[in-house]
Structure 1
Amino acid sequence: MLLHNSPTPSTRWMRMIALVLVLAGTSLAARAATAADRPNFVWIMSEDNSKHYLRHFDPDGAPAPNIEALAEHGITFDRAFSCAPVCSVARTTLITACYAPRIGTQFHRRSKLAAMPEGLKMFPAYLRDAGYYTTNNSKEDYNAVRSPGTWDDSSKKASWKKRPDKSMPFFHVVTSALSHEGRLHFSEKTMANPTQTDPESVKLQPYFPDTDTFRYTRASYHDRMMAIDKVVGDVVEELKNAGELENTFIFYFGDHGGVLPRSKGYTYEAGLHVPLVVRVPERWNDRVSREVGSRTNGFVEFVDFGPTVLNLAGIDVPRGVDGKAFLGDGIGTADVDARNETFGYADRFDEKYDLVRTLRIGNIKYMRHFEPYYPDGMQNNYRYKMLAYQQWRELHAEGKLNDVQSQFYRPKAVEAIYNLENDPHETRNLAGDPNFQATLKSMRTRLDERLKAMPDLSFFPEAMLYESAMANPTEFGQQNKERIAKLIDTANLALLPFDESEEKLRDAISSNDPWVRYWGWVAASSIGSDAKPLIPIAKNHVSDEEPLVALRAIEFMAIIGDEDIRPQLYQTISRASNEPELLQMLNTAVYLNDFFGDRLTLDVAQLKSSIKLSKQGDIQDRLDYFSSK
């Protein structure tokens, strides 16, 4: 029997609930109180646009008065870089402050999510731990497993206005798709509609053919940038009306480059060099050691953005990230102005593979193409929805392009170096110029040092990482650091004349390590016809026990030899055991089918019957392309 003053079970539950609510309220109040003296942050990201389409950064760009007004009250960063030229990889670089090839997040679209490095969280989680209300509206597109507690709300309804206590500082991200690549997937019928920007007034890049289609496409994109400018204006007005404008750092930037052809998906400046303006609020002006309205040529990268926000918020930047702050306490103007190096990477874009790494130091840009025989213009279904892409390929097939315009559809150089001061569009490779040999060797060495120090996981095929690494990619890289260095050295045999590399190539393609064999064949294919003495060995390797090594030997036979290697390709495709392995094989199939004339045209029915795995996603996209030809 219950005593008169003993609480009933339901009463006890009510008291417990009340206690939980009190504690939660106390915790929330404490969180707000400890953060009350910190600034707010708003990031405005426009999708798929490089700095080249805004007048504030380039005289041939579109007017954007609201972005220009941000700059009048802030800082313009004329050398800001996304590291990767595509959404998911660039956005993961932003949110983790880590280089994607080091942590396994470099493939767009990922076949498997990568675990975050041990002990590291996505940077908004540190803001939230410090009392910030963190919101994202609404695109994430991460290639890593999202850290618990990253966002209070990440949805199409997320807003800083919804924070439970108005004294709480906030970090809010808004992404606008008004500039996204898909906005240029218009039809020929649409081209009858006038654009706000006069197509005759735009200046086309020299690698484009000067056609009505290209002019209309660029004019349309200028219109898109003016629409983005309105979004920026609306966000500023919202903050102003709420009395938060002068409490809030506003970052405006593109989430990577784009979006006319040869930008998104490519590590040229048009794919990596983004606009960045940071508006400095009056209340927190003392945290920035620069005058408002100023500009800097100091290099900043996406890995630096998160640490910069944390530093401005007075929060310690966690160990284990690759970025470093460029604003806030302890960051001197001279230090940032002196920064002059940026690293770029490209791996897989949907169904298209191409391994490229770049290093820019000042105005000199070094590009290392690890699969140089793949032309830039290889099929990527989403890219080729754009009429400009379609017309470019048609004009190339008809022989109507000049040398610069045709480069997109030819094999690439193993390495390239550009002087961006007088060649901003990267059309004149100076790798063979005697005056640039010392610079070329220096930058080649510097890039190698960076790739080995990370280490760069992409020297293992994605299919191998899929099976062995994604539970802890960073640790996997450290455990295999020496092996990756060996793979990089093997890939770099492509930089030597065949008479200097032959002995090492023969050692590589007979190695017990399948991935050394793999890179040995890639290097031999990159060297080209001089490597013809390796054909007898390649004939044995087209049935290598490792299917992807067999694939690389098949590529070599196609490039160097004149035999019909299609039966070996179909057989190799039938051996694919996971999706990324099959996808890489189909990448080779497209390459052979499209760039070797009738000699290697594939039989679609036989190709499809060779596939033993599920035909969906990117796999289906490849098959749809073959079926459409």
Structure 2
Amino acid sequence: MRKRNYLTLNSTQLFLVFVFSFLFLDSESMQARETENKRNTPNIVFLISEDNSKHFMKLFDPNGVETPNIEKMLLFGLLYPNAFSNAPVCSVARSTLITGTLTTRTGMHLHRKIKIAPMPDGLEMFPAYLRKAGYYTSNNAKKDYNAIESDDVWDNSSLKASWQNRPNEKQPFFHQETFHETHESRLHFNKEVMMNHKVKDNPAQVFLFPQFPDSPLFRYTVAYHRDKIREIDDWVGEKIQELADAGELENTFVFYFGDHGGVLPGSKGYLYETGLNVPLVVRVPKYFKHLVPYGTNEKPQAFVSFIDFAPTVMRLAGLEIPVQMDGHAFLGGGLEKVSLERRDEAYGHADRFDEKYEMVRSVRKGKWKYIRSFQPYYPDGMQNNYRYKMMAFASWKEGYKEGGLNSKQAAFFKEKHVERLYNLEEDPFETNNLADENKAMLKQMREKLHLWMVEKNDLGLLPENILVNKAMENPVEYGEKNHDQLEQLITIADWATNDWEDVNDLVIERIKNGDELERYWAYSVACSFGKQIGDDYNRFPKINSESSSIVQLKAIELSGRVEAKNPMPMLTKWLNAGKDPVENLIGLNTLVYFKDHSPYGEGFTANSLSLKAVNDEVNRRLIYLDGTW
């Protein structure tokens, strides 16, 4: 028998030896580079994906897709199931991130900005502080801020910006990069795409939110979006590999998160969890574990919001956190796990999105979610041209018009309750309002939101025309100087949470004797009650006796809400006489509401409109109204 020579290797074995030797040597060289590059101050990287909530990643939700690269981050870091954007849209969310402020306090809360807000006195966008401390700061490339940006924020902000472009490889860096392929626009596909583009998942088997119609179009749209989530994972893997190849991975905190909730209908632009609850995973570098009060592979239950991100970066970098920031650090030296885990609250706000107005506020505490609608008669599904470019969104509206939706699916196009209360453990998609069943919790959450709005001088109480004309030179200062008035306006607005019989005299007295903003909000309260006002409508002043144009608009709105008369002729006359495009935009919101969601829209024609004061957002409404949209 031939004796086997164990020193002789065949070609396959030689190849394997070569590969393993290469990997071993490459691993050794990477470790050597990391040791050589070890820093006194950590690098920090934000990897931001556009428009996706946590509900589509299996890491966060059993119905989500596998994301192996993001999952690998968790082996060396932390997963936050309770991470929230304070607003469900890009410009407002990103303004919050870069400033560390609540944008309803700083005048940056409207999407898109008609007038840009100055930074609060004495506050800079947080990368400017890092840069002054010796960091190289880069952004690739989306900003979309509603605030004035100074020249000292970035060393480079462009499509070519990278931490690798810093002049000194020993220099610590902060880098922010955005993945765009999950943006809402990617779901603006047509029927030809549906015919020719094969999605990875079987559409018939994907999980649908309970408020969605069960149609082939909705199922395909969900499956298409799931493929985009997989693309995020590939991108994150590439970015982490770049850090590893340069020997910087173990010096760098890598934050992966979405910039707000998802793009499927009823998510982006709305204060539901699918619009606010974002995926967040933080990879912790081994050389800076001492800055984190958690072990690796933990899932902190602490609530974190976008107002907290800037303070967190400042603390990780060892810098003093400016007092003007509204949030609190959730990582960094000196923090204790026990105190962090007590954090169980998050606040949300939604105002104007493009041409669509509605003021909504929310507070989440533990499993409880409270949503307060200040114009609850405006349906969620009111026209917003950009939203309805998505075929699934448009089909949802058509299904409602045809009467083919069940109660959960149809709710999106109907008047809402002033207050909504949800138990998210039992009702994660917020379809079962418990406001009438749990009065004690409702009261607690209402008071919590009221105090927050008062404390933060919520400028959403100002109609945008007044905000632009009177407050935008220095919104923070305006809020501080008018704190008592804003508190009074919040109190008036909260009359809508009572029975009409308990507040009718208060409302009518304010309309007769209050200042402009008090009259505006008293009328808004009355509009919330609508036909419940009954014969009390005869006690209201005549519409033409109102001296303020914006308050007169609310009086016209009330006449339609109580069905006293057709408001469309008065609205048309009011709009044609308008001299302020922002005020006209508010009026067009009212007109579209009556046109699409009341008996008064029948027979209306855009030919009756001849507006003299217009802007880009007004033109969006006019395009819709004249049928060229």
- TM-score interval for Structure 1 and Structure 2 normalised by the shorter chain: over 0.9
Would you identify which runs of 4 or more consecutive aligned residues in structure 1 move more than 6 Å? none
For 1:55-454, list aligned pairs within 5 A. Answer: 55-192=58-195, 193-433=197-437, 436-454=438-456
Superposed displacement of residue 542, structure 1: 5.2
Asked if the contact 1:50–1:258 (Cα under 8 Å) also holds between the matched residues in 2, the reply is: yes
1:546 and 1:287, CA in 2 relative to 1: closer, same or farther beyond 3 A? same
Name the counterpart of 2:18.
none
Partner Cα separation in structure 1 for residue 327 and residue 150 of structure 2: 18
Partner Cα separation in structure 1 for residue 189 and residue 394 of structure 2: 12
Equivalent residue in structure 1 for 2:525, among 523, 526, 545: 523
Asked if the contact 1:418–1:426 (Cα under 8 Å) also holds between the matched residues in 2, the reply is: yes
Superposed displacement of residue 489, structure 1: 1.1
Q: Which moved more, 1:557-566 or 1:413-422?
A: 557-566
Asked if the contact 1:107–1:349 (Cα under 8 Å) also holds between the matched residues in 2, the reply is: yes
TM-score by length of 1: 0.92
Superposed displacement of residue 602, structure 1: 2.7
Residue 68 of structure 1 aligns with an amino acid whose one-letter code is: E
Partner Cα separation in structure 1 for residue 169 and residue 616 of structure 2: 44
- Residue 412 of structure 1 aligns to a residue whose secondary structure is coil
Partner Cα separation in structure 2 for residue 74 and residue 204 of structure 1: 31
Residue 110 of structure 2 aligns with an amino acid whose one-letter code is: F
Partner Cα separation in structure 1 for residue 326 and residue 600 of structure 2: 48
Partner Cα separation in structure 2 for residue 491 and residue 52 of structure 1: 34
Equivalent residue in structure 1 for 2:606, among 604, 607, 629: 604
- Residue 526 of structure 1 aligns to a residue whose secondary structure is helix
Residue 584 of structure 2 aligns with an amino acid whose one-letter code is: L
Name the counterpart of 2:626.
627
Superposed displacement of residue 490, structure 1: 1.1
Partner Cα separation in structure 2 for residue 79 and residue 227 of structure 1: 23
| 5+ residue gaps, structure 1 | 1-34
Name the counterpart of 2:488.
486
Residue 270 of structure 2 aligns with an amino acid whose one-letter code is: Y
Superposed displacement of residue 551, structure 1: 1.1
Partner Cα separation in structure 1 for residue 211 and residue 544 of structure 2: 37
Partner Cα separation in structure 2 for residue 176 and residue 237 of structure 1: 16
Superposed displacement of residue 537, structure 1: 5.0
Q: Which moved more, 1:544-553 or 1:474-483?
A: 544-553
For 1:34-73, list aligned pairs within 5 A. Answer: 37-73=40-76
Name the counterpart of 1:12.
none
> 1:267-308 CA distances to partner (integer Å, 9 max, x unpaired)?
000000000000001111121121111111110000001111
Q: Which moved more, 1:574-583 or 1:337-346?
A: 574-583
- Residue 78 of structure 1 aligns to a residue whose secondary structure is coil
- How many correspondences in the alignment? 590
Asked if the contact 1:344–1:358 (Cα under 8 Å) also holds between the matched residues in 2, the reply is: yes
Asked if the contact 2:568–2:591 (Cα under 8 Å) also holds between the matched residues in 1, the reply is: no
- Residue 299 of structure 2 aligns to a residue whose secondary structure is strand
Superposed displacement of residue 565, structure 1: 2.2
Partner Cα separation in structure 1 for residue 505 and residue 366 of structure 2: 37
Residue 76 of structure 1 aligns with an amino acid whose one-letter code is: L
Asked if the contact 2:44–2:252 (Cα under 8 Å) also holds between the matched residues in 1, the reply is: yes
Asked if the contact 1:538–1:557 (Cα under 8 Å) also holds between the matched residues in 2, the reply is: no
Q: Which moved more, 1:455-464 or 1:527-536?
A: 527-536
Residue 396 of structure 1 aligns with an amino acid whose one-letter code is: Y
Q: Is 2:463 the partner of 1:461? A: yes
For 1:13-32, list aligned pairs within 5 A. Answer: none
Asked if the contact 1:56–1:68 (Cα under 8 Å) also holds between the matched residues in 2, the reply is: yes
Superposed displacement of residue 543, structure 1: 5.8
Superposed displacement of residue 538, structure 1: 4.9
Partner Cα separation in structure 2 for residue 330 and residue 575 of structure 1: 60
Q: Which moved more, 1:173-182 or 1:555-564?
A: 555-564
Partner Cα separation in structure 2 for residue 119 and residue 310 of structure 1: 16
Superposed displacement of residue 196, structure 1: 1.3
Partner Cα separation in structure 2 for residue 496 and residue 287 of structure 1: 48
Superposed displacement of residue 241, structure 1: 0.9
Superposed displacement of residue 38, structure 1: 0.6
Partner Cα separation in structure 1 for residue 153 and residue 604 of structure 2: 48
- Residue 580 of structure 1 aligns to a residue whose secondary structure is helix
1:123 and 1:383, CA in 2 relative to 1: closer, same or farther beyond 3 A? same
Superposed displacement of residue 601, structure 1: 4.5
Name the counterpart of 2:574.
572
Superposed displacement of residue 512, structure 1: 3.8
Partner Cα separation in structure 2 for residue 182 and residue 535 of structure 1: 45
Superposed displacement of residue 627, structure 1: 1.5
- Residue 398 of structure 2 aligns to a residue whose secondary structure is helix
Superposed displacement of residue 36, structure 1: 5.4
Asked if the contact 1:134–1:170 (Cα under 8 Å) also holds between the matched residues in 2, the reply is: yes
Asked if the contact 1:133–1:170 (Cα under 8 Å) also holds between the matched residues in 2, the reply is: yes
Asked if the contact 1:542–1:553 (Cα under 8 Å) also holds between the matched residues in 2, the reply is: no
Percent of paired sites with the same residue: 46
| 5+ residue gaps, structure 2 | 1-37
Residue 523 of structure 1 aligns with an amino acid whose one-letter code is: V
